[in-house]
Amino acid sequence: MSNIFRNIPSVNELLESEPLKQLAARANRTVVVGGVREFLDKMRKEVTAAAAEVPTPGELAQRIAEWIDQTEQPALRPAINATGILLHTGLGRSPLAPAARAAVDSISTGYASVEIDLPSGKRSQRMDVVARTLRQLTDCEACAVVNNNAGATLIVLAAVAAGKEVIVSRGQLVEIGGSFRLPEVMQYGNVRLREVGTTNKTRAADYEQAIGEETAALLRVHPSNYVIRGFTESASLEDLVALGHKHDLPVIDDIGSGALWDFSRYGIDDEPMVKDSLKQGADLVLFSGDKLLGGPQCGIILGRKMWIDRVRRHPLARALRVDKMTLAALHATLKLYLDPEQAEQQIPLLRLLATPIENLRHRAEHLAPQLAATSSISAAEVVDDTAYLGGGSVPTQALPTVCIALTPAFGSVDHLASRLRDAVPAVMGRVKRERLLIDLRTVFAEQDGDILAALTSLGGNESPAEPSPGE
């Protein structure tokens, strides 16, 4: 065994090798020295465990250089979303509009009037940056902005109902995105959950019977990611508002996606609109900033001033506070909605939704033969398929789309998918029946060339890279 180890060159010898000298000149010497040590440590363990061979010094230097290069790539990097899921949480949900990026640019590299009212020079509340625009768009009385909609739900429950009971329909006790489970959020908000009705049917009378001394609010949750079919019934928001106000209880409406206008124009039905919820009398309306709104991650709370004031004063407001970049991006995104035409042209999510299917087909027919001509692909077929909103939003809502179905020239479809994820920018498709689908519904037209470049860069049939330590 010790003989084998004697064959391993020293760190200094390796650093003198051509590939690592070149890497150190390009990257940072500390990073390269650390990387060489880390690689050698792992290799010694592997050699011991598997009685493996030590590569020749030249081969070893080359492998270490490639490994350092790969591990030093930022884990967070741009990706092309060809999955067909518009609000893919794993890919950061909605991309930002150019105006939002410009706003972030202009306030993030210097100081900014985050909590200063410039005319008076007095201290202001950071959430007020977006208050005026939210009022213009929704006629809300007051607003608060927190880190995300899960946070909005938590702080609203804690501010309105801590130590008391909130009534929710059993059909609305949702889990969204695997980690947001309404019953658990209620527990952390120190709120007791009072379930009423059954999974498929809940009537206003069920809520009324449950109202008692301990009741602090009525909560409605939009079941964003599922539908119950068949014999179903739920109390309308108007009914809940009438009931709540009769008993002096606030009605909280978690509408999830926050559509600022009617999304049925894009073939998405049954998405509650922010304005409607307020108009129908909900006291507090909650939604995400990075779902249908197409802005940065945040949770927006609109409603009556007396309740919003309680939310703003709650200690959790500090813990869930948004930063200046979020506020800048949100404000710029909201401003675009004041001119619907501008919003549709500039907000990436709306642009993707509004693209006519013929455009997608035209692009697919142009791109498919080019992809098929690359050496890693044996066939590229244009196929009709279904895209989804995603992001905990309406996967039941099918959107028509056109895909390019790729058959790899060699290796498995998973291997092809993995090599495309390694490209710069990463290309994420979806595997269906042994083919990799490139769904153009979620790809911006200007990225078609990048997809071709990524496939071209994969080259021909080479044996897959040998697994290196750390994998």
169 binds ligand PLP (CB under 6 A): no
Report how far residue 270's alpha carbon sits from residue 273's, in angstroms, rounded to the nearest whole number. Answer: 9
83 counts as binding ligand PLP under rule CB under 6 A: no
Strand partners, 393: 390
459: nearest Cα among 379, 374, 380, 370: 374
Q: Which residues pair with 253 in a beta bridge?
A: 220, 285
Site for ligand PLP, residues 129 to 148, rule: CB under 6 A: 148
The answer to whether 376 contacts ligand PLP (rule: CB under 6 A) is no
> Coil, strand, or helix at residue 254?
strand
Using an 8 Å Cβ cutoff, are 198 and 170 in contact? yes
Of 262 and 462, CB closest to ligand PLP: 262
Site for ligand PLP contains 443 (CB under 6 A):
no
Contact between 272 and ligand PLP (CB under 6 A)?
no
Stretch that binds ligand PLP, among 135-143, 218-226, 307-315, 434-442 (CB under 6 A): 218-226
Q: Does 330 bind ligand PLP (CB under 6 A)?
A: no
Indicate which single residue of 4, 27, 173, 180 sits in contact with ligand PLP (rule: CB under 6 A): 180
Select 256 or 408, whichever has its Cβ closest to ligand PLP.
256
Q: How many residues bind ligand PLP (CB under 6 A)?
A: 17
End-to-end CA distance of the chain: 24
- Strands 142-146 and 116-117 turn out to be unpaired
- Using the minimum distance from each CB to ligand PLP, give the nearer residue, 257 or 401: 257
Query: How many alpha carbons fall within 13 Å on the CB side of residue 236?
Result: 6
The residue assigned the tokens 């495309």 is 420
Shortest Cβ 453–ligand PLP spacing (Å): 33
Nearer to ligand PLP, 92 or 177 (CB): 177
Strand partners, 439: 403
Structural contact between residues 125 and 144, judged by C-beta atoms closer than 8 angstroms: no
* 224 scored as a contact of ligand PLP (CB under 6 A): yes
Contact window for ligand PLP (CB under 6 A) among 21-29, 120-128, 195-203, 250-258:
250-258
Q: Does 220 bind ligand PLP (CB under 6 A)?
A: no
Q: Does 288 bind ligand PLP (CB under 6 A)?
A: yes
Q: Does 250 bind ligand PLP (CB under 6 A)?
A: no
Q: Is 150 in the site for ligand PLP (CB under 6 A)?
A: yes
Buried residues in 201-218 as b, exposed as e (16+ CB within 10 A): bbebebbbebbeeebbbb
Pairing status of strand 142-146 against strand 299-303? antiparallel
Query: Is residue 3 packed enough to be buried (19+ CB in 10 Å), middle (13-18) or exposed (0-12)?
Result: exposed
192: closest CA among 170, 152, 163? Answer: 163
Among 9, 35, 272, 392, binds ligand PLP (CB under 6 A): 392
Interacting residues with ligand PLP between 15 and 74 (CB under 6 A)? none
**Residue 291, token pair as written in the block:** 């779902």
Scanning the structure block, which residue is given the tokens 């949900």?
Answer: 93
Whether 318 and 123 have beta carbons less than 8 Å apart is answered as: no
Task: Please report how close the Cβ of residue 470 comes to ligand PLP at its closest, in angstroms.
Answer: 32
Task: List residues near ligand PLP by CB under 6 A.
Answer: 148-150, 153, 176-177, 180, 221-222, 224, 254, 256-257, 288, 299, 392-393
